[in-house]
Structures are given as C-alpha cells and as structure tokens.
Structure 1
C-alpha cells in the first residue's frame, strides 16, 4: 500500500508579505521587527528572578572580595598566575582548565537531554543581561502597549526624556559590567583609581570600553538576534533532544481548535479547545515565536509563555498546564523515561571528569621539584677521589608565601651535595640551582643507580618535595 505526502503549490506572488509581487521574486532578507515583550509574573519568572539575583550578585560582588590580602578571583596574566578562592594556579596547571571545560560541556549536554535549553532560559549571560535591560525599559517607558505607542509617536520632550533616561541607565549598567569584568584581571580597586586618575594603561581603557559597548549592544539592541543567529547552541541543541526530553510545549490535543469565548463558557459548550487564542504566549516571548507552532530552535526555554498561559487559564477557570514542561512522548500519550542510555553516557563522563578534577586539585602539591642531570658528562673524579655527577634542580613555588627549602639527597651510601643546600623561592617563582653530588667509589655498585633528591620547606613543615634521578659511575 503506497502512501503520499500532500503537496501544496505556493505562488510567491500571492504572498501578501512579499513586496515584489509584480516581479514574482522572493526576498531572501527581511528587516528585523522589534519585539515588544510584555511583562508577566508567575512561578517560573520568580525562579528566574532568584537565579538572576544570585548570578548578578556573585558577578559584581566576588570581584571586591579578598582572602589573605589576595583577590578572591584574579587572573594575573602578566605574572601568569590565576588566583581562585585562595589557591594559585599556573600555566602548568592547564590540564585543570581543560578538565573544567569538559565538565561544563558535558554538564550542558547532560542537562539538555533532560530539560532542553534551561541553561539559556535561566542562567545564560545573554539572557540575564537582556532581562535586566528589559526590566529597565519596562520601568522607564511603561508597559508593552505604551512602548509601542511611544515608538510610533513623533519626537517630543517626553519621548526624548524617556529614551534618554533608558539609554543612560543602559550605559551605566554596561559600564559597571565592563569595569567588573576587567576587574577580574586588574584588581578592581586599583583599576577604578587608575582609570579616573588617568594612570591606567591604554589596554585597560580599551577593554573596559570594549565590554561596555558589547554589553550595551548585545543586551540593549541585538537581544534575541544573539540567540537566533550568533549562538551556536541554538543550532546543535536538537542533536541532544529526543522524545523523552522535557521542554516547553503546547498541548494541541487539549488546546485545539482555538477560539475566543466569554468567561464561564466551558470548551465543550463552545465546541472549542482550551486555547482562547488570546496571543499572550506570543506577547511575552523574548524571541517572538508562537509556541503553539511546535518546538522551534528559537525557543530558549524561559517558560514565560507558561506563566502567561497559566494566568489566562486561571481567569477562565480552566486547568493550568495548556503550555507546560513536557515531553513528546507524554503529549502523544506514551510513557516518558527520565533515564536512558544517552543520559547515562553523558552523566558517566560528567561524573568521571568531576572526580578526576577534584582528585587532582585535592592531591595537588603547591610546589614542584624537577631534577635534570647534566648529560654533557657521564661522571668525573674530584680531588678527594670521589665520583661526581652534575645536576640542575628546578623548584617552583606555587604557594602564596616565600618558601625556604633545605636540599638533601639519598640512595647511595655516603652520598652528599657539595654545592648549596638551601634555597629561598618567592611566591610564584621558578628557580634553578646547579648542583654537584659525589659518593665514594666503593658506594657505586652499578654504572647507573637510582638516587632521590629531597627539598624540605623550612617555612611549612608539611611541604616536602622528592623526585628521583640517576647517578652514573664507573663499572666495578
């Protein structure tokens, strides 16, 4: 039995939205239509307000906090030091950064397979700053209808005052954002003092200006354009979706057919579904889509349409949930599974990487001792008839304070260091020390023996470094 897909011939010239009716051509580019987002209150909006407050509070507060005189978070690029919550990391700790990035990636994949784009809707910086700018716009220019009327109205004193006030606040928020971001690389107290006394470098002024302009444009002007056209996540998210992924969805089985009716009229009496076709879900959407058209890549999972629809359902005395977080299987009456092979796979890799990074940090020694044997000569005899080998000791101090190390060597009978046996290394410093070691000829039982160098800190008794090397001597 054959099946056919219904096909409808579309004539571009008959499309009322096409401006080239006479020529029959189709525009491949359409100018952006400004989206006027209506303010809505509800359960998911309260969740977003909490997450927004926490994230913005941490962003603007942490840059000012110090621990033992050191900024809580400071990326000191000239010194190649990264101070995070009292610990100092160096370029040699790059493997930890790689682990962190893998954790972030698989964490995003894991959450996406379960709940779709909740990252975009609640914690993405673009969403967070856009909602702040929208909140400012709402407070200064008024509700959605007032903003639309204001934009269409001719230039007047009131319009100029409101627009100027809005953009002034936007610029101030953007400037605070730029200053704070640069403050994570240039101590914020010094940065502000140097900027306003014109003592800062040109690069400091450049980056503050760059992030100020970027924030102002992205959150104030581009908004949903960043999510739709610039963010790669919107394009590859569907790869991680399956019929069990819980996303914001409209229930057509319950809502269709749509139609208006008076309050108190039940859907059965009206011969319609629960959707009254009020359009509130479209008016509150920050990307301007109609969720009733099905899952779309433009949806950022913010759930504002859920709050708006639930408010209407409550007014109509209908059950809430016409638009809700649900899965494709549930909409089709099938059972939905929370855990599945893809989820287990992402979760296993995520747990493995978190464990690896935690163990690495927990066992990380805040100093390092490396020994390089001089390969230019095998061995030599000194004036006392003892066998000598030359080495270069390299000590890296990754603690916050200077460390004085006492050096020793073991592994062969009567082995000793002939050169300097004490070395002071400043915080964040790497020092090299040429070292000569000798032993009596009778102690050399093989032409290649294992010896151990030890550096014991006199500043911190718990800090003991040890590494092995080789001692070459004559064959007996």
Structure 2
C-alpha cells in the first residue's frame, strides 16, 4: 500500500491453510468455472450467457433480451443492489473476501505464481531488500511474463461474455473485441504487478459505503480483545489463552493490517487471520482469538440475524423477484415496431382507398428451434386492410418488411387517423399504435 511517504510499501502475505482458506478456494473454483465455461455453452442454438453489444441483445439462460426489455435490466440492477445491501447487513464484506474478481484472481493465480517463482514471504522480502541482482531480475522477469499470460487469458475470458467464446478464441471476432482484450489485459497486468491491495483501499467504493449498510449486529472479522489482552509472549499468555503476540494474523493479511487494532476500512473479511490464529491457539488448547463476530456480541448483547433492516431488504428482494417473475411470464416472445417509410405521406388508389406505407420491423426473441409465422392486422378504422409479405422468422432472427395500410376514403376523415397494427405469433400478439395520414393532411378536398 502507499505509506505516509507516498512510496509503495509492499505487502508480503504469508501462505496459510485452514477452514476458511479451503472454503474460499471452493468459492474461487466455482466462480472460475462459471467464467470460463458458461460462454462456451449453447442452449437452443444460442449462447447460455452473452452480452451482444453490437447486436443490442443479451442472451441469458435461453432467453433473448433486447432494448425493448430495458425494464428487466432495471429490475436486475435493483436486485443486485438490494442483494448487496442484504448480504452486507448480515455478513459484512463477504463479497470482498469470497467473490470479488480482484480477490479471486489474486488468490487463484498471482500468489501461487509468486510462491512458485520467488518463494515464501521471507525469501521474497530478503531478495527484494538485497538490491539489484541477477537472481532477482530473472525471477521478476519470469514472474511478470506469467502475469502477462494470465492477464491476457483472463481478458479473453471476460471479453468472451461479450464477443462470444468461439469467435474470440478462434480469431474470428471483430478488431474492436481484440482491442478490448488488449486494454483489459494491460489493466490486469498493472494491477497484478503493482496496484493490488491499493484497489481495495483507494478505488473500490464498497469499503466507503459499507458503514452505511452495516450495523452493530453485522458479522465482521473481529479480535476478542477482552480475552486476548493484555497480549504477552511466553508461557503465561499461552496458558491463559491470551494473545501470545506472534503476529501471525498480521503477516498473513493481504491488506497489511493488524486485526487486533479493531475494525478497519481496509479489511476485506477474507478470514486469513482467523485461520492463522486458529493454527496457533488450537494446538495450545484454546479457541481462536480472531473470529467472525459482531460488535453487539463483543458487548455481550444478543445478536438478531432477523431484524428490521434485514427484513426490509429481504422484502424488497422478494418483491423484485416476484414482480420480475410475473413480467417474465407475461413477456411477449417477439418484438415489433412500425415506422413510416421515409419521404412518404399517402397515396390515393383508383378504387377509392387511401394508402399509407410503413416499415415493419419484427424480431423473434424465442430461443426455440425452427421458424415461426407472423400475422399482421390493422385495427382502429372500419374497412382498413393491412398488406405485407409473409413473415417467417427463426430464433433470434429479425426482418424489416414493407407494410401497406389501405383505408376506404369514406372512413378517412380529418388530417390523420389513429390506427393500431396487431402482430400475432406463437399464441401471443403485440399492438402497436401509429397514425394514418389522409389527403386532408395536405389540404385535400372535403369528404
């Protein structure tokens, strides 16, 4: 991290094993599985997960969402926000320690590479403090080369969610996609080689507003000060179950903080200090002095996991899920729009009808197989006729076709008439409101 001198103070966390370290590894493995495998899976011929920005589509678990479904995006973002509030109120910064990409990638890739190339904490510190030597240089170059490879690999995995895994990894994606790969890879490389824990300390906003989301009953990583103090090296402290001041909880911390100083902004609740303390105290026959707890527990008060704050968040989450489910069940599996043909107003046909020409755009959002027909009708004016070519669309296909609406002159009163175009397919229909211009729009004769 950056010290008071504005120089980089490197953190050398010691490797640690334990219950929470194992739990985090399972979490990291699952998240990597989702990131690396999901973009390759197809469902009904479409990607399982893909955000197709050029095509303005989102593929998600067999569904296709377009700009017409923006409301679902709003609901999704609201759900994520209140889920963050809910889990923070219950378990503090569990996201930071177990699921944040910064933590996941550092712990899965970067720290094992450093351990392999440069050795443990003591060797790295001694080598870095020894000045510029051949041994230092070749290890740094090899390490940075591996960091660069990991950065490109992770950037490719991330961009696969947008450009598609198969086109991207086979060289068939657009130049823009590979440009984003380069930018993201450079960002990760800079982060892995220099920035690291400073992201959590200075850039990430979550640490700042966590205090507004948590309360005295929120679960945090805390030090049992009444039992651990006064800390002392030697047999007496070990016999009494007090802190023996071994500093192991400090040297394993990836943020470089001392959890015994109380709750701190930099703590990401990774629980490495819990495993470290447990590895020292349990062989001595005592419980760990660092554990998941709350301020209320430290004060001897009863902790309510179900309390007004969590009830409100849970109710909001349930409402969003219920509302989204109802809207999703009633969602029309296609979309359509009607726009007047540029430069056209109306046309008088010899048979006494007034003609307007439109462009009908239809998109099939169904993720099934096979093409389906679409029917077009016009409503709102007696005797109106809709003329369009036959429309057959396969999954995620779209088309733009001319649509001619003819209205009897006897019904075409006024400058314009409100009409509705009904598009029907797959047992559902969509009603699109538009206007029909008559010859009165240009001062035509009375009817």
For normalisation by structure 1, the TM-score amounts to 0.79
Residue by residue over 1:311-338, the C-alpha shift from the partner in whole angstroms, topping out at 9 and shown as x without a partner, is 11112111x2411111111101111111
Residue range with higher mean Cα deviation, 320-329 or 34-43? 320-329
Change (3 A) 1:215 1:468: closer
Higher relative contact order (CA 8 A, sep 6+): 2
Match of 1:397 in 2: 363
Structure 1 residue 180 and structure 2 residue 157: aligned?
Answer: yes
For 2:16, the equivalent position in structure 1 comes to 40
The equivalences for 1:232-247 within 5 A come to 232-247=205-220
Map residues 7-46 of structure 1 onto 2, 5 A cutoff. Answer: 29-46=5-22
- Specify the alignment match of 1:21 in structure 2: none
Are the structure 2 counterparts of residues 326 and 258 from structure 1 closer, same or farther at C-alpha, using a change threshold of 3 Å? same
| Deviation (angstroms), 1:174 | 0.9
Q: Shift of residue 396 of structure 1?
A: 2.4
Q: How far apart are the structure 2 equivalents of 1:92 and 1:411?
A: 24
Kept after mapping to 2: 8 A contact 1:394/1:433: yes
SS at match of 1:145: helix
Counterpart residue number, 1:11? none
Report the Cα offset of residue 220 of structure 1: 3.5
The corresponding residue for 2:441 is: none
Correspondence for 1:290: 258
2:52 is aligned to: 76
**1:366 positional shift:** 2.1
For 2:409 and 2:285, the matched residues in 1 are separated by 97
Name the structure 2 match of 1:97: 73
Shift in Å, 1:168: 2.3
CA deviations 1:125-148 (Å, max 9, x no partner) are 111111121122123222211222
Q: Residue 464 of structure 1: CA displacement?
A: 4.2
RMSD: 3.5
Match of 1:167 among 133, 137, 144: 144
Whole-Å separation in 2 of the counterparts to 1:213 and 1:28: 28
| Offset at residue 209 of structure 1 (A) | 1.6
Instruction: Identify which of 276, 279, 285 aligns with 1:317.
Output: 285
Q: 1:407 aligns to what?
A: 376
Q: TM-score, normalised by structure 2?
A: 0.84
CA offsets 1:345-370 (integer angstroms, 9 cap, x no match): 22222222222233333322121245
How far off its partner does 1:70 sit?
3.2
Could you say which residue in structure 2 is the equivalent of 1:120?
A: 96
CA distance in 2, matches of 1:325, 1:200: 47
| Residue 190 of structure 1: aligned partner | 167
Q: Distance in 1 between matches of 2:238 and 2:376?
A: 89
Structure with more helix by fraction: 2
Q: How many Å apart are 1:89 and its aligned residue?
A: 1.8
Match of 1:261 in 2: 234
| Unmatched segments (≥5 aa) in structure 2 | 439-446
Q: Taking structure 1 as reference, are residues 224 and 470 closer, same or farther at Cα in structure 2, changes over 3 Å only?
A: closer
- Quick one: distance in 1 between partners of 2:268 and 2:4? 25
Cα-to-partner distance string for 1:75-98 (whole Å, 9 max, x where unaligned) = 322222222232222222222222
8 Å CA contact 2:28, 2:98 repeated in 1: yes
Q: Identify if the C-alpha distance between structure 1 residues 84 and 50 changes in structure 2 by more than 3 Å, giving closer, same or farther.
A: same
Q: 2:335 aligns with which of 357, 368, 380?
A: 368
Cα displacement (A) at 1:188: 2.9
Partner Cα distance (1:137, 1:407) in 2: 64
